[in-house]
Amino acid sequence: MERLEELLVQNVSHSFGFDDILKDINFKLEKGKVLSIVGPSGGGKTTLLHLCANLLDLETGKIKNSFKNSSYAFQEPRLLPWKNVIDNISFGLKAKGIKKFKRDEEAKQIALEFGLEEDDFEKFPKDLSGGMKQRVSFARAMVLKPSLLFLDEPFSALDIGLKKELQSLLIKTIKKYNLSVLFITHDLMEAIKLSNEVLVLKANPVGHIVTTFKYDLSQEFRDDKFVYEETVKLLSDEKIIDTFELELK
Ligand SMILES: Nc1ncnc2c1ncn2[C@@H]1O[C@H](COP(=O)(O)OP(=O)(O)OP(=O)(O)O)[C@@H](O)[C@H]1O
Ligand SMILES: [Mg+2]
């Protein structure tokens, strides 16, 4: 029987010293789904992602991750400056004991898929634009063929065109590999475009989920009109207005 793959977060709370950051967080991320956490800066989104990805020790509550494997891409690409594009992408494969020739082959294939060109393969991070670095970071996560991907505001530093392109690439990748994604953003439109479920995390007095929105329409069919209309609906939701401290005119 195939193993059920899911990420289950139950009654998770977290503090840094005497600062309570998160309180009673509950959600479930299923196979092939995208769950986004949106909220204003400082609300504990990154802290929650780090707890889920096991990058931070869990203090209170339970997190059960039964996905076969996971990888992550962060807001800043965090590339190794002394390695070229291909070696950065293939770095994680080395730890898995895959031979150099095979590593390079897989890294090149995914680099091309992610819109990098052969001319870029030998370049070092200092010679790449921000968008190219982001592609390398994304490719480095995907080359590991994760069943769960943790993404912390991966597109927030990009211009609107590039952001749209990488969002479409992410949607294609999700469908192709039946990938599950825990996605952190503060951009409501981005969350509506990509997610099956959006959790809204309010910062005060301590990070907690105030409301949840679900979207059934498959991501490939969400055009700009859908995204704009749903965003307008959210922007008139009292809980959203309160969470983002939006002033009504
Ligand atoms: N290692 C740490 N030690 C102490 N406090 C921390 C640590 N990491 C984060 N914090 C605090 O926890 C709170 C939540 O931070 P976090 O980075 O999770 O917020 P965020 O929602 O991701 O914000 P942003 O949208 O700006 O990225 C902040 O007040 C931050 O100062
Ligand atoms: Mg953050």
Mean pLDDT value of segment 207-225: 95
Q: How far is the CA of 125 from the centre of ligand 1 (A)?
A: 27
With a 6 Å cutoff on the Cβ, whether 45 touches ligand 1 is: yes
Give the per-residue pLDDT at 2: 67
Give the per-residue pLDDT at 59: 93
Q: Whose CA is nearest to atom 31 of ligand 1?
A: 42
Tell me how far apart the alpha carbons of residues 173 and 193 are, in angstroms, rounded to a whole number.
15
Amino acid at site 41? S
Ligand 1 pocket: which of 25, 47, 74 to mutate (most atoms <8 Å of CB)?
Answer: 47
Q: 3 pLDDT band (50/70/90 cuts)? A: confident
Q: 1 pLDDT band (50/70/90 cuts)? A: low
Give the per-residue pLDDT at 248: 62
For 15-36, how does the pLDDT look when each residue is reduced to its tens digit (9 = 90+)?
999 999 999 999 999 999 999 9
With a 6 Å cutoff on the Cβ, whether 43 touches ligand 1 is: yes
Q: What is the dihedral of CA 179, 182, 188, 189, to 10 degrees?
A: -20
Structure token digits, residue 227: 């995204």
Domain ranges of the chain: 1-69+150-249, 79-145
For 117-160, how does the pLDDT look when each residue is reduced to its tens digit (9 = 90+)?
999 999 999 999 988 998 999 899 999 999 999 999 988 877 88
Give the per-residue pLDDT at 66: 96
With a 6 Å cutoff on the Cβ, whether 154 touches ligand 1 is: no
Q: How far is the CA of 193 from the centre of ligand 2 (A)?
A: 20
- Cα distances (Å, whole numbers) of residue 113 to 107, 124, 249: 10, 19, 45
Ligand 1 pocket: which of 20, 36, 46 to mutate (most atoms <8 Å of CB)?
Answer: 46
For 65-120, how does the pLDDT look when each residue is reduced to its tens digit (9 = 90+)?
999 999 998 878 889 999 999 999 999 998 889 999 999 999 999 999 888 999 99
CB atoms within 10 A of CB 202: 21
Mean pLDDT value of segment 50-63: 96
Structure token digits, residue 112: 């091309």
pTM given for the model: 0.93
Reported as half-sphere exposure (CB side, CA atoms, 13 A), residue 80 has a value of 12
Give the per-residue pLDDT at 95: 86
Amino acid at site 6? E
Taken as a whole, the chain contains a residue count of: 249
DSSP per residue, 124-149: -GGGS-HHHHHHHHHHHHHTT--SEE
Give the per-residue pLDDT at 249: 58
Q: How far is the CA of 42 from the centre of ligand 1 (A)?
A: 5
CB atoms within 10 A of CB 42: 12
Q: How far is the CA of 48 from the centre of ligand 1 (A)?
A: 9
With a 6 Å cutoff on the Cβ, whether 46 touches ligand 1 is: yes
Mean pLDDT value of segment 209-225: 96
Q: Residue 41 above 70 pLDDT?
A: yes
With a 6 Å cutoff on the Cβ, whether 44 touches ligand 1 is: yes
Tell me how far apart the alpha carbons of residues 14 and 47 are, in angstroms, rounded to a whole number.
8
CATH number for the segment(s) 1-69+150-249: 3.40.50.300
For 167-205, how does the pLDDT look when each residue is reduced to its tens digit (9 = 90+)?
999 999 999 999 999 999 989 999 999 999 999 999 989
Tell me how far apart the alpha carbons of residues 47 and 56 are, in angstroms, rounded to a whole number.
8
Structure token digits, residue 190: 């981005």
Q: Go through 13-37 and write b for each residue having 16 or more CB atoms within 10 A of its CB, e for each that does not.
A: bbeeeeeebbbebebebebebbbbb
